Structure 1
Amino acid sequence: MNTVDAKRVLETALICAQQPVPLRELRVLFHDALGSDTLKQLLHELQLEWTQRGVELVQVATGWRFQSRPEMREYLDRLHPEKPPRYTRATMETLAIIAYRQPVTRGDIEDIRGVTVNSLIIKQLEDRGWVEVIGHRETVGRPALFATTRQFLDDMGLQSLDQLPVLDDPSGNANVLEAMAAAAQGVIEPEPELAMAEPEVAAQDDAAPLAAPEPPPTPVRDDFFENVETGLRDDDADADTQGGIQGNT
C-alpha cells in the first residue's frame, strides 16, 4: 500500500471513529504492516493537510481524533443551540487543585481553598469522568486520594498533564480556570457562592455520654489561587445549590 492510500485509510478511520483511536489500534488497519514511526509520520502529514480547514487532527491522551477548531464553535452552536454546561468557580478551583497537586485528599483541597469542600462537587467531578480515587493516604482515617483521569485530558484537549498552563508563567496564570471551562465547552457561573458549612457527624456509641464538640481547626491557606489570580476571597465557601457541574457535554 502506498503512502496516499495509507493516509486515506487513516483519515477515513479517524473521521468515522466516535472516540480517539490509539496508535496500536491504527496499526490493526494495516495488519501491523506499518510500524508506529511510519504511522506517526503519516498522521503528522495529515495534520498539515488539514491546516486550512475548519476541522483539525489532534493527539490527545487516549489517541488521535478529528475535532472542530475553536473558532468554528460559534457557528456549530447555531445548529445545536443548547446551553453549555455551567460550572461554579468552586468546582473549577477544586478541579484545578486536583490537576496541579494530585494526588490530593479532600483535606488537602480544603487547606488550599480555606473553605469546606462540598461532597457534591467531588461526586459531580467523578460523575463527569474527570476525577477518580486512586488510593488512600496511610494516615488516620485513610482518606481517599483523588487524581484526574485520561477522560479529563481528552476533554481538555491534552496529551498529558505536562501540557497544563505553567503556574509560574504570568501569561498563563490569570485564565487557568477559564481555560479549563472553555476546553470542556462550559462557562463559569458568574453568581457569587453562598456561605455553607457541610457538617461531618461522626458515629457515636449510644451508651457513651455526649461530649461537647471541639471547634474545627482553621484551614491553612496557601498561595495556590493567589498565583493564578482568581481573586478568591478568604470568606468564599461552596454552596449546596450551585456546587458543581450542571449537565454534560
Structure 2
Amino acid sequence: DELMQDWAGRGVELVAVATGWRFQSRPEMRQFLDRLHPEKPPRYSRAAMETLAIIAYRQPVTRGDIEDIRGVTVSSQIVKQLEDRGWIEAIGYREAPGRPALYATTRQFLDDLGLATLDQLPMLDGPPTAAVFDPGSAGQPSLLGDEPGQVALPLDEQPEDGDVIADFEPVFPTVEVPLAPTASLTTEGAAEAFPPADVPAADDPSPATLA
C-alpha cells in the first residue's frame, strides 16, 4: 500500500494482476502514449471474440459446448488462434464419447485485461448463468447436463484418437461491400419501358380459319 501511495499522482501506477504486481501507465495517459507510439491493435473476428467470451464465462467448456451456445461450428483455426495468443488452454478432457478437450482461460488472459481474478469480469446482461467458473468448486459444471465432477481428465492421459488442430491460417475480418442501388420503375415508367403487346381481336380470322 505504501508503494502504491508513493506512485499515486504519477504517470504510472502499481496494480495487482493474475501473475502478481506490475507497473503500467494510467488510463488517462493513453492519448499521449498513442501519439508517441502509434500502434494498431490486432483485430480479431467476431467468431473469435464470441468463442473467447463463452470460454471466459462458462469455463471449462468443450468445442461442442461452444457450438451449442453459438449455434454454428467452431473452426479449429479460431481455437488455435486463441491458444497461440495465450488466452486459452486445454486443462483436461471430458469423460464422454471422443473425450473432447476442456478449454479454460489463462493467467495471460487476465493480465492482458488488467484483471487479477475472473470475478472482476464485467457482469453479463440477462439471467445469471450457473456454469461460471468457480476455482473453489468441487465439481465442474457441464453445459450438457452431465453430473458435476468426473468430467475432467489429466492432460497426461492423452486420448488415442485426439483431434488434430489444422495449421493456423490468419482469420481476416469480413469486409462488407455495399450493393449497387437497384433501379425502381414506377407504374408509368414500367408502362413506357414495357408497352403491352398487341392482342388480336376475337373476331379477327385466325390462320386456321383462313386455311
TM-score interval w.r.t. the shorter chain? 0.5 to 0.7
2:66 equivalent to 1:136: no
Structure ID, larger Rg: 2
Q: SS of the residue aligned with 1:109?
A: helix
User: CA separation of 1:169/1:76 partners in 2, compared to 1, >3 Å: closer, same or farther?
Assistant: farther
Q: Deviations over 1:183-204 (max 9, x none)?
A: xxxxxxxxxxxxxxxxxxxxxx
Name the structure 1 match of 2:135.
none
- 1:242 pairs with 172, 176, 179, which one? 172
User: CA separation of 1:241/1:150 partners in 2, compared to 1, >3 Å: closer, same or farther?
Assistant: closer
- Looking at structure 2, the residues matched to 161 and 131 of structure 1 have their Cα atoms a distance apart, in angstroms, of 13
What letter matches 1:65 in structure 2? R
Name the structure 2 match of 1:214.
none
Equivalent residue runs for 1:187-198 within 5 Å: none
- 1:88 pairs with 20, 30, 45, which one? 45
- Looking at structure 1, the residues matched to 8 and 170 of structure 2 have their Cα atoms a distance apart, in angstroms, of 45
Q: CA deviation at 1:90?
A: 1.5
- 2:82 pairs with 122, 125, 128, which one? 125
What letter matches 2:4 in structure 1? Q
What letter matches 1:113 in structure 2? R
2:43 equivalent to 1:113: no
- Looking at structure 2, the residues matched to 79 and 240 of structure 1 have their Cα atoms a distance apart, in angstroms, of 29
What letter matches 1:68 in structure 2? S
Name the structure 2 match of 1:37.
none
What letter matches 2:88 in structure 1? V
- 1:158 pairs with 115, 122, 129, which one? 115
Q: CA deviation at 1:50?
A: 2.1
Please tell me whether the aligned partners of residues 57 and 65 of structure 1 are also in contact (alpha carbons under 8 angstroms): yes
Q: CA deviation at 1:49?
A: 2.6
- For structure 2, list consecutive stretches of 5 or more residues without a partner in the other structure: 128-143, 145-168, 174-211
User: CA separation of 1:99/1:241 partners in 2, compared to 1, >3 Å: closer, same or farther?
Assistant: closer
- Looking at structure 2, the residues matched to 240 and 116 of structure 1 have their Cα atoms a distance apart, in angstroms, of 18
Q: Deviations over 1:114-143 (max 9, x none)?
A: 111111111010001110000011001000
Equivalent residue runs for 1:21-170 within 5 Å: 44-168=1-125
- For structure 1, list consecutive stretches of 5 or more residues without a partner in the other structure: 1-43, 171-219, 221-238, 244-249
What letter matches 1:55 in structure 2? V
Alignment coverage as a number of residue pairs? 134
Larger RCO (CA within 8 A; separation ≥ 6): 1
- Looking at structure 1, the residues matched to 99 and 84 of structure 2 have their Cα atoms a distance apart, in angstroms, of 22
Q: SS of the residue aligned with 1:147?
A: strand
Please tell me whether the aligned partners of residues 118 and 240 of structure 1 are also in contact (alpha carbons under 8 angstroms): no
Please tell me whether the aligned partners of residues 51 and 66 of structure 2 are also in contact (alpha carbons under 8 angstroms): yes
Equivalent residue runs for 1:200-215 within 5 Å: none
What letter matches 1:91 in structure 2? A
Name the structure 1 match of 2:209.
none
Runs of 4+ in structure 1 deviating by more than 4 angstroms, as ranges, are none
- Backbone CA RMSD of aligned residues: 2.4
Please tell me whether the aligned partners of residues 45 and 171 of structure 2 are also in contact (alpha carbons under 8 angstroms): no
Q: SS of the residue aligned with 1:64?
A: strand
